[in-house]
Amino acid sequence: MAYPEVNDIVNSSEGIHTLFQYTSEIVPMFVPMVLFSLFLIVFLGSFFASKRVGSSSATASFAAASYLTTIVAFFMSLIPNFINQSTVIITLMISILASLFLFFGSKNPV
């Protein structure tokens, strides 16, 4: 055997999270890229769906995408050795920034 295989390193019978943990250990940017792709999918989907209805708001779509990304990052942090604490903090800060943009960029303040 010239190189180690995934089955030799990871016990995949424990669940799918062990494969994701192994991938995040080998490729440290795996989880941030998954979160960024989730953010883009939600942001663009929300923006173009609201644009089709007629009332598109980039700040509302940005806020919705950042909230969902923060929730997913929090749930990923419950799995040990899967996501860095700094990644969760960065997503939380982006959510706070999106909330500020949504509140101060609104044409009709509440």
- List C-alpha distances in Å: 68 to 15, 39, 107, 109: 24, 8, 24, 23
Q: Which amino acid is at 68?
A: L
d(CA 78, CA 81): 9
The two tokens of residue 13 are 């019978």
The domain segmentation of the chain, as residue ranges, is: 28-104
Average pLDDT, whole number, for the chain?
86
pLDDT band at 87 (very low <50, low <70, confident <90, very high): very high
In tens, the pLDDT along 57-70 reads 889 999 999 999 99
In tens, the pLDDT along 5-48 reads 666 667 767 777 777 888 888 888 999 999 999 999 999 999 99
pLDDT band at 96 (very low <50, low <70, confident <90, very high): very high
